[in-house]
Structure 1
Amino acid sequence: MTLLSEHDLLIEKKAAQEPPRKFTHVTYDSRQATAQTLFFCKGNFEPAYLNQAKEKGATAYVSEREYVQGQGLTAIIVRDVQKAMSLLGAAFYGFPQNQLFITGITGTKGKTTTAYFAHGVQDAHTNGHAALFSTIDRITGPKPEQRFKSDLTTPESLDLFHDMAEAVKNGMTHLIMEVSSQAFKKNRVYGLKYDLGIFLNISPDHIGRNEHPTFEDYLYCKEQLLRNSKNVIINAESQHFDEINGAAKGSLMDDHIYLYARENSLISFQTQVDFEFKETRQDLTESTVEISSYSDKGRKLAIDGAYEVDIPGDYNQENAIAAIVSAAMTGVSATEIRQHLPEVRVPGRMEVFQTKDHGTVYIDYAHNYASLKSLLSFLRQQIPDERLIVLTGSTGDKGISRRSGLGQAISEEADVAILTSDDPATEDPLQIAQEIDQHIDHDQVEVQIVLDRKTAVKQAIMLSKPGEIVVLAGKGRDATQKLNGKNVPYETDVKIAEDLIKER
């Protein structure tokens, strides 16, 4: 009650005849309620769920209104149930965030790669005591059973604090986590403060009927990471840098804001970055970058010099720089970073497969204009005179604005496009493919629509010739397809490609 009152969330508490003295479980899923449960009525809530929770032993509920179905339960009525759930979830699990050094990462592209870079280095530095909450994996401890697939980039607050508590119980001291715009939009991380926040970039994405109504709303939600971090690292080359930097300066002194950019990238005459980097070597599998410090606080981190990055792509160099600076800010030496950064591999990110009689296959999660454009542009530079074949699709029920962006990126960089299914959910995959196709210049690009993704993957590889490049974009190592509201098993692009290559 104190927490809710402090945050001006509590409207009233209506105690049952025998009010509960303690709770042994918290949940927003009525199926998971047990004896002495505090139940949260949130989201697409139906009163029948409260009945079910009561039958299973719930003794109180938190809601934005009172329900007759909750008769006999203590009712805690609040102004915003999502905010209340985040605050009470943290309290129930013993405020685990206070026992972890938490690095939060946001951006339209590169969050997962940066998170893996940062985790790989920090995990080595702490002898296996760094947790990871990413789009791909959640790692709460050193054992295999403490690593599992993620459902959301940033989960609901109760799940988030539960996993943080598990990490603390398992001896973790550091946590690297991706933070989505939806996490702030839906108050999944309300009240959570980050020791370090990383802002990678921003470009239009996640704008649609079920997500952000406008780009301005999307940017505002992303900026909340800067307003809730003790120190921040910002890619000064990002679009809308002035607004991003302004958001940071509104909450932090300059000594707590670290800026980086590629060498000779003039941001403005008024902006002095703390670090510049330049590429000294690049090929289709790896690169070397060199960092130079340009401020007193930057020089104190002592990270000047060359670093090897074993994930290709000039855009991944920016992700690596953010991870290097963040690692140094957590106490990792430049020597350790140089040793462990090349060891990092990101499942489903820029995985390269050589074929005998066909082209080189790249598998990546690129799923919007910014990420696909960066990927294809890099590969186009490597093979200016050979065909670039790209396979992609787009998700259903969300990210609708991505479809035009995917078509644009294909038009600008590809020679052949195979449009296929990518988690169409409740939408018709053919209609999604046709929407992407509407934004492709058919004078520049040959387009095929092959809705069965396994068939499409095989066709894309078989279509290629030696010296050409095939990009399988969107799903990486994702082993399910979202079809008609169900998660249907899928072999993964990686396995289909590997099996085909072995056959030949």
Structure 2
Amino acid sequence: MKLSELLAGHDHEVLAGDPETLITAGTCFDAHRASPGALFIAVPGHAEGGPESVGPALARGAVAVLVESAALDAPASASASAAGVCVVRVPDTRKAAAAVASRYYGEPGRAMDMVAVTGTNGKTSVSYMVESLLRLAEGAEVGVIGTAGSRIGDELIPMPRSVLTTPESPDFQYLLGRMRDREVSTVVLEATSMGLLNHRVDDSFIDVGIFTNLTQDHLDDHGTMDNYRDAKLRLFQGLCRRAVVNVDDAVGASIVAMMPGEVVTYALDSEADYRATDLSMDGHGTRFTLHHDGRKYPAAIPVPGRYSVANALATVAACHLLGHDLAGLVAALDRMPPTPGRFERFETPGGTSVIVDYAHSPDSLDKVLGTIRGFAKARVITVFGCGGDRDVTKRARMGEIAGTYSDLCVLTSDNPRYENPEAILDQVTPGLTATGTPFVRFADRRSAIAHALSAAGADDVVLIAGKGSEPYQIVGERLIPFSDMATVRELAGA
């Protein structure tokens, strides 16, 4: 497609070269991923690209460049001039990138039902639930884009390791194009706060946006809770046609007045279009009554907890809003497979229940431990830590939460990244100490899990929190293979 066609209707200025240049190899932000025929988009501050990477991108065959500034450094300017490359200035390269990538792949979001899930907690669980319900109830082919990668059904779509939970717009539109070409009927994606703030899902024609909740997290990225909230709310300010929102959450309730399109509500404690009452929970799941439009539906999910019921309500509401039969959706709830790394269970030969969960924020840890405390027959032992190079203000609070609910805590490393693991544990310790709950420290995560399992007896519950289904630990620049559940199984001799 011609560059002029990709940019039609978008504010731009041609600085050099021919705007009729054909783009035949897609678009990219990363200079090392440029190839002959590509459009390189020089996003300021991008780790693998930016204006300083124009020269390397041209050396790899890029035939056109989008920039925000008219000034290129001398080597890049000379390279562009010598190669006859078209250089175009746009006001915002990220906004332009989304529009250009969508057009390049033929606006694939228009061809499928698009569901975007945002909120602090529940994005992955709701995404998996939407996929499971549509597959179970109707045999639908569903694409998923999120924390665990991108896939169509059980088939992973290979992508570079650097691709984010909400991919940058060139990768995101490529994935949508792949899914459309495979005749996927519905795509469900996790829309992170940074993904929304950086325009990664712009121009994707989202049919339903789901808001789960807002609690403290990602302050290392956003600075304040107000900034974090505003990034989430971008989804409901023109990016989605309709919304499904949790009105038990104050921010969710505010979306009702904000949305230009239809809003459907769900709640456990407030009046809403979809409500749940009569919750009955044990260690294997939750039964409840779903209320909608004056009717009652007996329902069950194979996951314990009020928060899991809230996720189920969001899922059912979104799928029903897309036109799927409500009774069939509710009937399929109790057949949903477990979401990897989300309240994932294992029982040791000695009768200890082990739960692996992604809980890595104060609110998510509180909800998971509160649920476990509600059904545990004996002791609760919690293995947890806090990620490095992330919001330090939540560390002592998470220690306090773990200590409040647990009989024993095993403090360990999560993803230390570039921080000293022992220094992170030092910052968690005051919160734990204040509760009086006994605890031990093992910076080595495998040793921590081994200690918890050896200390646990029959009917005890061991929660291993923080990493969920992640297959690695991040230490500095290294991704070290490590799976919580695989480690549990190995240590238990399973």
CA deviation digits over 1:333-367, x for unaligned, max 9?
A: 23422343222220111112222336321111111
- The whole-number CA distance in structure 1 between the counterparts of 2:486 and 2:457 is 21
Q: In the alignment, which residue of structure 2 is the partner of 1:231?
A: 242
Correspondences of 1:60-79 after superposition (within 5 Å): 60-65=64-69, 66-67=71-72, 68=74, 69-70=76-77, 71-72=80-81, 73-79=85-91
CA separation of 1:151/1:379 partners in 2, compared to 1, >3 Å: closer, same or farther? farther
1:431 aligns with 2:423: yes
Tell me whether 422-431 or 158-167 shows the greater mean CA deviation: 422-431
- The whole-number CA distance in structure 2 between the counterparts of 1:234 and 1:470 is 33
Q: In the alignment, which residue of structure 2 is the partner of 1:37?
A: 38
User: Paired residue for 2:228, among 215, 218, 225?
Assistant: 218
Correspondences of 1:413-432 after superposition (within 5 Å): 413-432=405-424
Q: In the alignment, which residue of structure 2 is the partner of 1:390?
A: 382
1:287–1:312 CA contact under 8 A, matched in 2: yes
Q: In the alignment, which residue of structure 2 is the partner of 1:306?
A: 298
User: Paired residue for 2:145, among 127, 130, 133?
Assistant: 133
1:63–1:81 CA contact under 8 A, matched in 2: yes
User: Paired residue for 2:436, among 438, 441, 444?
Assistant: 444
CA deviation digits over 1:125-182, x for unaligned, max 9?
A: 453411111212421x346354789952211111111100000011101111111111
Structure 2 stretches lacking a partner, 5+ long:
none
CA deviation digits over 1:27-63, x for unaligned, max 9?
A: 1111121111110112134655222211111111111
- The whole-number CA distance in structure 2 between the counterparts of 1:353 and 1:195 is 37
Q: In the alignment, which residue of structure 2 is the partner of 1:346?
A: 339
1:358–1:462 CA contact under 8 A, matched in 2: no
Tell me whether 350-359 or 54-63 shows the greater mean CA deviation: 350-359
Correspondences of 1:160-175 after superposition (within 5 Å): 160-175=172-187
- The whole-number CA distance in structure 2 between the counterparts of 1:145 and 1:212 is 31
After TM superposition, the score normalised by the length of structure 1 is 0.89
1:327 aligns with 2:319: yes
- The whole-number CA distance in structure 2 between the counterparts of 1:188 and 1:402 is 28
CA separation of 1:400/1:100 partners in 2, compared to 1, >3 Å: closer, same or farther? farther
User: 1:499 Cα shift?
Assistant: 1.8
CA separation of 1:150/1:484 partners in 2, compared to 1, >3 Å: closer, same or farther? closer
User: 1:22 Cα shift?
Assistant: 3.5
1:135–1:151 CA contact under 8 A, matched in 2: no
User: 1:375 Cα shift?
Assistant: 0.5
2:143–2:186 CA contact under 8 A, matched in 1: yes
Q: In the alignment, which residue of structure 2 is the partner of 1:368?
A: 361
1:25 aligns with 2:26: yes
Q: Which amino acid in the other structure matches residue 222 of structure 1? A: K
Q: In the alignment, which residue of structure 1 is the partner of 2:280?
A: 281
Correspondences of 1:175-190 after superposition (within 5 Å): 175-190=187-202
- The whole-number CA distance in structure 2 between the counterparts of 1:413 and 1:280 is 21
- The whole-number CA distance in structure 2 between the counterparts of 1:352 and 1:250 is 40
Local SS of the residue matching 1:439:
helix
User: Paired residue for 1:81, among 72, 93, 96?
Assistant: 93
User: Paired residue for 2:403, among 411, 433, 444?
Assistant: 411
- The whole-number CA distance in structure 1 between the counterparts of 2:94 and 2:467 is 30
- The whole-number CA distance in structure 1 between the counterparts of 2:137 and 2:202 is 30
User: 1:327 Cα shift?
Assistant: 1.6
2:245–2:263 CA contact under 8 A, matched in 1: yes
Q: How many residues align?
A: 477
User: 1:378 Cα shift?
Assistant: 1.1
- The whole-number CA distance in structure 2 between the counterparts of 1:46 and 1:52 is 11
Local SS of the residue matching 1:391:
strand
Q: In the alignment, which residue of structure 2 is the partner of 1:249?
A: 257
User: 1:2 Cα shift?
Assistant: 7.0
Percent identity reads: 23
Q: In the alignment, which residue of structure 2 is the partner of 1:290?
A: 289
1:98 aligns with 2:107: no
Q: Which amino acid in the other structure matches residue 34 of structure 2? A: A
2:341–2:356 CA contact under 8 A, matched in 1: yes
Structure 1 stretches lacking a partner, 5+ long:
none
- The whole-number CA distance in structure 1 between the counterparts of 2:298 and 2:206 is 29
Q: Which amino acid in the other structure matches residue 54 of structure 2? A: L
1:206–1:401 CA contact under 8 A, matched in 2: no
Local SS of the residue matching 1:389:
strand
Q: In the alignment, which residue of structure 2 is the partner of 1:207?
A: 219
